[in-house]
Amino acid sequence: MAEMSELKLEEFLRLNAPEDLSGLTTAIAKSSLMVWESIPFKSGLLSEVNPSGETQKAIDVYSNDVFVEALTGTGFAAEVASEEMAEPAEAKGSVSVAMDPLDGSSNVETNNPIGSIFGFYSKKLPTSGRDLVGALYVTYGGMMTLTFSFGKGVHRFVAVREGSAISFELLGVNLMLPAKPEVYGFGGKRKDWIPAVAQFWHTLEEKGLRNRYCGTFVGDYNQVLARGGIFSYPALVAKPGGKLRVLYESAPMAFINEQAGGYASDGRRNVLDIVPSVLAERSPLYIGSSSLVREIEAKITSDS
């Protein structure tokens, strides 16, 4: 094996991933470069809304189309479902892919990190997170990184420019949440949180955790993975079902987080145990260090 610091994505996948997941990951890596380079030029709003009722941006539609074409073209995807499409794109492979093609696109104008999230499922969608065989997220920030797991650890590669060429090189292997949590980030307005969440927030402040919230799931989760802590888009008084979509966002990130030694809950159960009845089903999400997530889960269940 090549030296770890010099290991390229292609070699890592050849040694550590089954052919189907390797092919899908390679397609995402190549397509993410196209998305990354197009973000400054396709940030305007369209007049249309996606199936979740959110106004689409040109970059949302572009990134969706790029990833769908690349994934269906691998021969490994059975279907590709996206929050930007009402129905999945059918293909002839064996792995169902669910994706948020551009997480946090509202942050384009403020130049905050944005990302893409992918879940690789062994069964037709919608299905439980227990049927995930892998998950991956891309972060478009000061660096462009791929963070993924195929069920044996969490690994990260970074895009490195060498002249006119860009390759992905190993940045971290077997990433784990630190034992001592340091940060937290909660979405939604504080006045709208359910009482258990508001009470729990005060305990985080008392424990000395620092607030880190940028409004992009992958950006906020990167902080948690690096420093330990908790990220949440919680249940709200007027929106008890939360905001994040199970298949496209919550379950894939929960899969990665569990491989990093953490836990993810909807406030009552492991996110991976949720069986969505529709593709765009939502749930509250509390994800990160196990001790903190189980603490908020206990507060929510005791209040019910």
The per-residue pLDDT for range 259-301, each reduced to its tens digit, is: 999 999 999 999 999 999 999 999 999 999 999 999 999 999 9
pLDDT at res. 258: 98
pLDDT at res. 159: 96
pLDDT at res. 261: 98
Q: Buried b vs exposed e over 19-40: b needs ≥16 C-beta within 10 Å?
A: ebbbbbbbbbbebbeebbeebe
Residues 97 and 138 in one domain: yes
Which amino acid is located at 12 in the chain?
A: F
Structure tokens belonging to residue 195: 């009482």
Residues 36 and 145 in one domain: yes
pLDDT at res. 139: 96
Residues linked to residue 288 through DSSP beta bridges, in sequence order: 230, 263
Structure tokens belonging to residue 224: 């948690």
The reply to whether 259 falls in a domain is yes
Residues 187 and 167 in one domain: no
State which residues form the domain around 53. Answer: 4-172
Residues 24 and 125 in one domain: yes
H helical segments located in the chain:
9-16, 19-38, 58-72, 195-206, 217-227, 251-259, 290-303
What value does the mean pLDDT of the chain take?
A: 92
Tell me 248's DSSP state. Answer: I
The reply to whether 177 falls in a domain is no
- Contact between residue 194 and residue 237 where contact means Cβ atoms under 8 Å apart: yes
pLDDT at res. 57: 72
**Distance, CA of 194 to CA of 210 (rounded, Å):** 21
The reply to whether 161 falls in a domain is yes
| Distance, CA of 287 to chain centre | 11
The total domain count for the chain is 2
Quickly count: other Cβ atoms within 10 Å of residue 92's Cβ. 10
Q: Which of 134, 117, 161 is CA-nearest to residue 250?
A: 117
Residues 168 and 187 in one domain: no
Q: Which of 223, 233, 298, 207 is CA-nearest to residue 257?
A: 223
Residue 247: CATH number of its domain:
3.40.190.80
Residues 29 and 155 in one domain: yes
Q: Which of 151, 172, 193 is the last residue of a domain?
A: 172
27-54 residue pLDDT tens: 999 999 999 988 776 656 555 656 665 5
The residue-averaged pLDDT of 190-202 equals 94
176-190 residue pLDDT tens: 999 999 999 999 999
Residues 168 and 213 in one domain: no
The residue-averaged pLDDT of 149-167 equals 94
Residues 239 and 153 in one domain: no
What percentage of the chain carries pLDDT values higher than 70? 93
Residues 70 and 196 in one domain: no
Q: Which of 133, 152, 172 is the last residue of a domain?
A: 172
- Contact between residue 84 and residue 61 where contact means Cβ atoms under 8 Å apart: yes
The residue-averaged pLDDT of 96-120 equals 88
Residues 134 and 58 in one domain: yes
Phi, psi of 157, deg, nearest 5: -120, 150
pLDDT band at 113 (very low <50, low <70, confident <90, very high): confident
pLDDT band at 109 (very low <50, low <70, confident <90, very high): confident
Residue 57: CATH number of its domain:
3.30.540.10
- Strand segments, DSSP code E, in the chain are 45-49, 55-57, 77-82, 89-90, 95-103, 114-121, 132-140, 144-149, 155-162, 165-172, 183-186, 210-211, 229-233, 244-245, 263-265, 282-283, 285-288
**Distance, CA of 86 to CA of 57 (rounded, Å):** 16
The reply to whether 207 falls in a domain is yes
206-236 residue pLDDT tens: 999 999 988 899 999 999 999 999 999 999 9
Residues 149 and 224 in one domain: no
Q: Which of 153, 172, 191 is the last residue of a domain?
A: 172
Which amino acid is located at 21 in the chain?
A: L
- Contact between residue 184 and residue 205 where contact means Cβ atoms under 8 Å apart: no
Give the SS3 label for residue 36: helix
pLDDT at res. 45: 55
pLDDT at res. 1: 33
Residues 16 and 96 in one domain: yes
Structure tokens belonging to residue 3: 């030296």
Cβ-Cβ contacts under 8 Å for 118 (sequence gap 6 or more): 24, 28, 97, 98, 99, 135, 136, 137, 252
The reply to whether 178 falls in a domain is no
The reply to whether 40 falls in a domain is yes
Q: How far apart are the first and last CA of the chain?
A: 53
**Which of the pair, 105 or 77, is modelled with greater confidence?**
77
pLDDT at res. 187: 94
H helical segments located in 179-289:
195-206, 217-227, 251-259
The reply to whether 96 falls in a domain is yes
Radius of gyration of the chain (CA): 18
pLDDT band at 58 (very low <50, low <70, confident <90, very high): confident
119-154 residue pLDDT tens: 999 999 999 999 999 999 999 988 999 999 999 999
